[in-house]
Chain A
Amino acid sequence: MALLEVRDLHVRVEDREILHGLDLTVNAGEVHAIMGPNGSGKSTLSHVIAGKPGYEVTDGQILFKGEDLLAMEPDERAAKGVFLAFQYPVEIPGVATMNFLRTALNAQRKARGEDEYSTPDFLKKVREVAKSLNIPQDMLKRGVNVGFSGGEKKRNEVLQMALFEPSLCILDEMDSGLDIDALRIAADGVNALRSPDRAMVVITHYQRLLNYIVPDFVHVMSRGRVVKSGDKQLALELEASGYAQFEDAA
């Protein structure tokens, strides 16, 4: 059974169809890259998988570990192991990052019927992960993403990914706004999470990221569909020739 199975997905936003029959199959252990021009529907796909309100699925289905993902609330999906690293992480003033991490982690664990972490265990775990991502402790005392630089926000997303140990990680343009060093650190963090029972879907505009996080498959999206799939060579071709060749195909 595939980990994620998207079949003939049609999605509307405010009476406009944005995804027009999208197919995607992701197996555990695989890394998929999704590339495609601005506005082709990459973020929309990630939002629909994670369950963001405001999208109407008019046709098709999404199965996650064989279950109907579309029937679940976003928090249920999260507890089942769906994680989305946002293209634009939001700020939550007054809510200390550490507090947020703990509340969210324990909510997920509770939903799965697992014990909540004790404070010392939790702190130990956060500290380890934060250290590996070069995140200073006092950043965790600040409000969630409040006053974080672009790079810090992205690192905070990878931190959460490492902490929650999801089985499906969708990374929406995690490379945007990162300098070379930050990119390497974040990518190392992601690579450290690669495992036979976890899959990654990496959305990006740049081949560069794929030098760090080497994908097993590359898909090109255009106008709401996957128009071509291949291996990592495809990303190199795109870098050379751009998306124009796919505009007609879509």
Chain B
Amino acid sequence: MPAVQETVDRVRRIDVDQYRYGFETLIESEKAPKGLSEDTVRFISAKKNEPEWMLQWRLEAYRRWLTMREPTWARVDYPKIDYQEIYYYAAPKPKKQVNSLDEIDPEILKTYEKLGIPLREVAMLEGIEPRVGETDPVKSKIAVDAVFDSVSVATTFKEELKKAGVIFMPISEAIREHPELVQKYLGSVVPTSDNFFATLNSAVFSDGSFVYVPPGVRCPMELSTYFRINERNTGQFERTLIIADKGSYVSYLEGCTAPQRDENQLHAAVVELVALDDAEIKYSTVQNWYPGNSEGLGGIYNFVTKRGDCRGRNSKISWTQVETGSAITWKYPSCILRGDNSRGEFYSIAISNGFQQVDSGTKMLHLGKNTSSRIISKGIAAGKSQNTYRGLVTAHRKATGARNFTACDSLLIGDKCGAHTVPYIEAKNSSATFEHEATTSKISEDVLFYCTQRGLSEEEAVGLVVNGFVKDVLQQLPMEFAVEAQKLISISLEGSVG
């Protein structure tokens, strides 16, 4: 209840053409030379003090990438990217070694404050309503591994995690401190040769998060990373690797915002999840990057490869995403259901407004026996945007008893936008049961009038109706994120009526 009121208030406070998170932080940065070459790759690897095997891994990816072509099958349209005009590495210069939050550059802390990101524990608990029947403050804690530009500068709650045996650190650190784990799992879900953008990422990734949850451990808190793109012309190449060992559980939250820019910014992240026997990973994203201005200029190009491998029996991976930002979104968080009885879930809200283009969906690849998957996708298109759901569900020959349920609902606001659904289904096993439902609707004039007659402005009415439309997916998010997501949904629909 209060969340919706907050949404309404928030919308009131915001100017339509002002992207609230569009400010820069004055941090000196250290850049790699512009453009991509073996030298760039070596520079990045050296900057990170990487072992030789890591450098070789990157170089192999780079050479592979040179032979690949940018994919063109998605329903997105953008000017040709000149990969030699991009800076591939930038880091804020650490003034000194950081041991605690108090020592972090106040500029950076201020940035987070403006974003409303709850870095400090107090702030984390402030304004957050505990879930009904869940008042344990430890449970509402969020560990933040803040990625500022390309380097992690703050890590909280490390101690508590350490006690539980959970490893949560920047991947650059993990490469040095836990090489055996990284070598074993990095690229094991998304191989270096996977696709153009993933291969590029493998060559030049700057940083990201690494999580390892040991057998039988239930991670004591939600793990969270906030991304922020801050350097002009700096491509962001995050790399995240999460491993849930046998019988463990972890919930990971990712969220990002970016400052206003005229130039397009390329982002090509890779996220790999591995769930072993009886393990569960819940991965939630709220994405709010700069979508471009009212003429469709600027905005982030977001080409992401996210894949989870349900490697063990009875394992489970669940993706939940709220996508409101970016000029272009090309993103298909997927599950490989390898272990018998494993389960994959994909819950998505994708909102496009202005000139945004979204081509997003999921792949559920059923390989093991009695595997199941569930896809709930809510696409909302407003303004002159295009919103495509693209999904693939396959059952391998040996995947007896595979089950999938897919529901794709699209909502159109106005008549200059488009919503498209492109489902591919392939069952090579006759015992597979795949169900698919799809609906497309418009926000009806009658519903809007009903709301305005009761005192809501048209914009508030749209926010309310859309929040109702996506409720099933919002419910999948951890409480703190759900509140934030609701706000974003209303913000991103500004100017979509009238």
**Interface residues, chain A, CB within 8 Å of chain B?**
50-54, 73-75, 77-79, 83-84, 86, 89-90, 92-96, 98-100, 102-108, 111, 116, 119, 143, 160, 164
Contact pattern, B 439-471, Cβ under 8 Å of A = 1, otherwise 0: 000001111011111111110100011011111
* Cβ A79 vs Cβ B455 within 8 A: yes
A-B contact list, 7 entries, CB within 8 Å: A53-B445, A84-B453, A92-B451, A99-B4, A103-B8, A104-B456, A116-B5
Residue in A93, A95, A103, A104 whose Cβ sees the most chain B Cβ within 10 Å? A103
Main secondary structure of the interface of B (DSSP, over half): helix
Q: Within 8 Å of chain A (Cβ to Cβ): is B472?
A: yes
Distance from A99 Cβ to chain B, minimum over Cβ atoms (Å) = 5
A160 to B5, CA, bound (A): 18
**Chain B residues whose C-beta falls within 8 Å of the C-beta of A105 in the assembled complex:** 455
How far does the alpha carbon of A105 sit from the alpha carbon of B472 in the complex, in Å?
A: 25
- Give the distance to chain A from B5, nearest Cβ to Cβ, in Å: 6
Please pick, from A50, A74, A90, the residue contacting B447 in the complex, using a CB distance under 8 A: A90
* 9 A-B pairs with the lowest CB-CB distances in the bound complex, closest first: A94-B468, A94-B471, A95-B468, A108-B455, A74-B452, A104-B454, A78-B455, A107-B455, A90-B450
Interface contact B455-A143, CB-CB below 8 Å: no
Whether A94 pairs with B472 at a CB distance below 8 angstroms is: yes
The residue that B464 contacts in the complex, of A74, A79, A95, A160, with Cβ under 8 A, is A95
Residues of B in contact (CB 8 Å), total 28
Q: How far is B454's CA from A89's CA once the two chains are assembled, in angstroms?
A: 12
Residue of A nearest to B456 (CB): A107
Inter-chain CA distance A102–B457, complex, in Å, is 14
A residues near B454, Cβ cutoff 8 Å: 78, 100, 104, 107-108, 160, 164
Which residue of chain B is the closest to A83 with respect to CB atoms? Answer: B453
Q: How far is the CA of A112 from the CA of B402 in the complex (A)?
A: 58
Q: Is the CB of A89 within 8 A of B468?
A: no
Residue-wise, chain B 238-261 has the 8 Å CB interface mask toward A (1 for contact) of: 000000000000000000000000
Could you say which residues of chain B place their CB within 8 Å of the CB of A51?
452-453
**Nearest-CB distance from A97 to chain B (Å)?**
11
CB distance from B47 to the nearest CB of A (A): 48
- Closest Cβ–Cβ distance, residue A147 to chain B (whole Å): 14
The reply to whether B450 and A94 form a contact with Cβ atoms under 8 Å apart is no
Most A Cβ at <10 Å: residue of B444, B445, B446, B454? B454
B1 CB–A CB distance under 8 Å? yes
A103 and B278 CA atoms in complex are apart in Å by: 43
Q: Closest chain B residue to A89 by CB distance? A: B450
Given the interface contacts A94-B472, A102-B1, does A111 sit within 8 Å of B464 by beta carbon? no
Cβ of B456 and Cβ of A143 under 8 Å apart?
no
Q: A78-B452, A99-B4, A104-B451 are in contact. List 13 more A-B contacts (CB 8 A).
A: A51-B452, A52-B449, A53-B445, A77-B453, A94-B469, A96-B1, A100-B464, A103-B8, A104-B454, A108-B454, A108-B455, A116-B5, A164-B455
Q: State A86–B455 Cα separation when bound (angstroms).
A: 15
Give the residue of B2, B445, B455, B468 whose beta carbon is less than 8 angstroms from that of A104: B455
B384-430 residues at the A interface, CB under 8 angstroms: none
Instruction: Say yes or no: A98 contacts B453, CB within 8 Å.
Output: no
- B12 nearest CB neighbor, chain A only: A110
Partner of A99, one of B1, B451, B465, B470: B1
Cβ–Cβ contact A75 & B452, under 8 A: yes
How far is B457's CA from A65's CA once the two chains are assembled, in angstroms? 22
Q: Is the CB of A93 within 8 A of B468?
A: yes
Question: Smallest CB-CB separation from B475: which chain A residue?
Answer: A94
Q: How far is the CA of A93 from the CA of B468 in the complex (A)?
A: 6
Residues on A with C-beta less than 8 A from B450 are 86, 89-90, 92
B455 contact from A53, A54, A75, A93, Cβ within 8 A:
A75
B8: min CB distance to chain A, Å: 6
- Which residues of A have CB within 8 Å of B468? 92-95, 143
Determine whether the beta carbon of B464 is less than 8 Å from that of A107: no
- Within B1-18, the residues touching A (CB, 8 Å) are 1-2, 4-5, 8
Distance of B259 from chain A, by nearest CB (Å): 32
In the complex, A53→B461 CA distance in Å?
Answer: 15
Query: Contacts A73-B452, A94-B467, A107-B456: A102 and B447 contacting too (C-beta < 8 A)?
Result: no
Contact of A90 among B446, B457, B469 (CB under 8 A): B446
**A95 & B467 in contact (Cβ 8 Å cutoff):** yes
Residue on B with the closest CB to A79? B455
In the docked arrangement, what's the CA distance between A241 and B400, Å? 73
Residues of B within 8 A of A164 (CB): 454-455
Contact yes or no, A75 B469, CB < 8 A:
no
Closest Cβ of chain B to A112, distance in Å, is 10
CA distance A164 to B458 in the complex (A): 19
Q: Which of B446, B456, B458 contacts A103 (CB 8 A)?
A: B456
A73, B457: Cβ atoms under 8 Å? yes
> Smallest CB-CB separation from B3: which chain A residue?
A99
Are B447 and A92 within 8 A (Cβ)?
Answer: yes
Q: How far is the CB of A126 from chain B (nearest CB, A)?
A: 11
Give the docked Cα–Cα distance between A102 and B455 (Å). Answer: 11
B465–A111 contact, CB under 8 A?
A: no
B52 CB → nearest A CB, Å: 54
Chain A residues, CB < 8 A from B453: 50-52, 74-75, 77-78, 83-84, 86
Distance from A154 Cβ to chain B, minimum over Cβ atoms (Å): 14
What residues on B are CB-neighbors of A75 within 8 Å? 452-453, 455-458
